[in-house]
Amino acid sequence: MSIKPQDLLNNKKDLEKRIKFEDISLNDISIDDLSYGGNNYNQYINLSSFLENVSTCQISDAFNEIAHRSGVLYNLKSINNLKTWGKITTVKTNSDDWGTITVAIDEANDGDVLLVETSDMDAAIWGELASTCAKNNGVKATLVYGCVRDLDALLTMDYPIFACGFRPNAGKPLGLGEINSDLVLESMKISPGDFLYGDETGVVIIPKEYFTQVMEKTLEIKIKEKNIADILNSGKSLSQVVGLR
């Protein structure tokens, strides 16, 4: 039987579809459902809809309840106030070597986020051109534990950037760093493939083995907070809700 072009169009999955929060189900989700693999459409759509509606605060609270850790990288801040999430491709490089990140852009999987550790704050290893290339290659965001530059462009780009600071100077394309090796930042071990969530409030890292548990707990917290908000809007005070009055 021949397949017509129209048949393919009718069967094409709408990866931009989103579900109302009250209808979201996290049954059978895993960290692999952060990307669409052909046989996980429902899980991908539910997880994407969910992640668009939560925050670092709720995810950190969930991780803390499960593992008694916050997961927060305190020195990373959003440059352009864009939310992001994904599996981590790790990069480690000296601040005078921005060449390593160009290789990492090529190595990262579609939908991954780059988490870059630099040796110091002496120079920027990321800017407008790197952001343009990464976005075109399907990288979802870049987080530099160090400095970026070209803020005039980064502030208006539709590409999430997080960093510890910024500098106008840069090094050279040496390419001497490491890609997809473990990092240790703020005493936290971070492995390739771990989950990262970032927004205006900060950045949270969740080890891959905790992902499903943390997402389910985050859903509980989100629903609980919504119920509390409804009670507050009905006229009760927060002190009454938490049992202090």
Q: Is residue 13 part of a domain?
A: no
Task: Give the ranges where 19-147 is alpha helix by DSSP (H).
Answer: 41-51, 56-67, 99-107, 128-136
Could you report the per-residue pLDDT of 67-96, keeping only the tens digit for each?
999 999 999 999 999 999 999 999 999 999
Q: Give the pLDDT band (50/70/90) at residue 12.
A: low
Residue 8 has pLDDT above 60, yes or no: no
Q: Is residue 172 part of a domain?
A: yes
Identify the CA nearest to 27 among candidates 215, 195, 224.
215
Tell me which residue range forms the domain holding 188.
77-206
What CATH number should be reported for the domain holding residue 117?
3.50.30.40
Distance CA 66, CA 70 (A): 10
Q: Is residue 178 part of a domain?
A: yes
Q: Tokens standing for 39?
A: 């046989």
Distance CA 101, CA 143 (A): 11
Asked whether the beta carbons of 179 and 102 are under 8 A apart, the reply is no
Token pair 């209808």: residue: 23
Q: 3-state class of 5 per DSSP?
A: helix
Q: Is residue 10 part of a domain?
A: no
Q: Give the pLDDT band (50/70/90) at residue 23.
A: very high
Q: Angle at Cα 91 formed by Cα 86 and Cα 94, nearest 5°?
A: 145
Lowest model confidence (mean pLDDT) among 128-132, 157-161, 223-227: 223-227
How confident is the model at residue 49, as a pLDDT? Answer: 97
Asked whether the beta carbons of 166 and 80 are under 8 A apart, the reply is no
Overall average pLDDT of the 25-54 stretch? 96
Q: Is residue 124 part of a domain?
A: yes
Looking at the chain, the whole-number percentage of residues with pLDDT higher than 70 is 95
Q: Is residue 148 part of a domain?
A: yes
For the chain, how many structural domains are there in total? Answer: 1
User: Mind giving me the DSSP string for 177-245?
Assistant: SEES--EEETTEEE-TT-EEEEETTEEEEE-GGGHHHHHHHHHHHHHHHHHHHHHHHTT--HHHHTT--
pTM attached to this predicted model: 0.92
Q: Is residue 45 part of a domain?
A: no
Distance CA 79, CA 95 (A): 19
Angle in degrees, 0-180, between the axes of helices 99-107 and 128-136, rounded to the nearest 10? 10
Q: Is residue 100 part of a domain?
A: yes
